[in-house]
Amino acid sequence: MADEEGYLAVSGERITLQRRHHSASCREFLVRCPRLQLRSLSAVTCSVWLVAYGLFVLCQNSVVLSAAIFVTLIGLLVYLHFVKIDQESLLIVGSLGIQMTSSYASGKESTTFIEMNKVKDVVINEAIYMQKVIYYLCILLQDPVEPHVVSEVVPLFQSSKPRLDCLVEVYKSCQEILEQNKKS
């Protein structure tokens, strides 16, 4: 019960959207971001090392070279563990809530679960990002005191930033489940 489709991200990269229908009221969407490119990795490493070598030639201090190696290694670790997100998933269970998971390239996962009684709606919003207008999917949270007020907006798929056609697919499925939930 899983189908996969290719889409484009806002920046033009290829992303894949995987849909899993676990049951009538439980669906999961996985957006896989592009992998880390060997080309960019080697470019960054080479540039850092070249700069370090230039400094070494200037000041004849070999500490610079070892520092450059450490900087690249630690930078790579930090990038993989805290910055680079491989895959983002959205699990929506009709009676329970919405769960967002982003898995980092190192395997670390960060999960947020929002209970259904706090969710007001799921909408597609637009925002100005750098020099262009992009669309993004977001969850509106209900204010606990006044039920008509939106207290918070939680954006979804923040790192992969899919284009509108992909967002509409997810949006429709989410609305179906929210409708079911409201009916009962």
Chain contacts with another protein (rule: CB under 8 A):
1, 20, 22-26, 28, 91, 93-96, 99, 101, 111-113, 115, 117, 143-145, 151, 184
Q: How far is the CB of 157 from another protein (least distance, A)?
A: 18
- How far apart CA 34 and CA 46 sit, in angstroms, is 22
**Cβ closest to another protein, residue 116 vs residue 123:** 116
* Lookup: tokens for 58: 């200037």
SS3 content of the chain, % helix, strand, coil (to 5): 35, 40, 20
Q: Which residues contact 48 (CB under 8 A, 6 or more apart)?
A: 68, 71, 72
Q: How far is the CB of 145 from another protein (least distance, A)?
A: 5
Do the Cβ atoms of 17 and 2 come closer than 8 Å?
Answer: no
**Cβ closest to another protein, residue 133 vs residue 145:** 145
Q: How far is the CB of 2 from another protein (least distance, A)?
A: 11
**Cβ closest to another protein, residue 101 vs residue 159:** 101
Q: How far is the CB of 79 from another protein (least distance, A)?
A: 20
**Cβ closest to another protein, residue 23 vs residue 60:** 23
- How far apart CA 24 and CA 12 sit, in angstroms, is 33
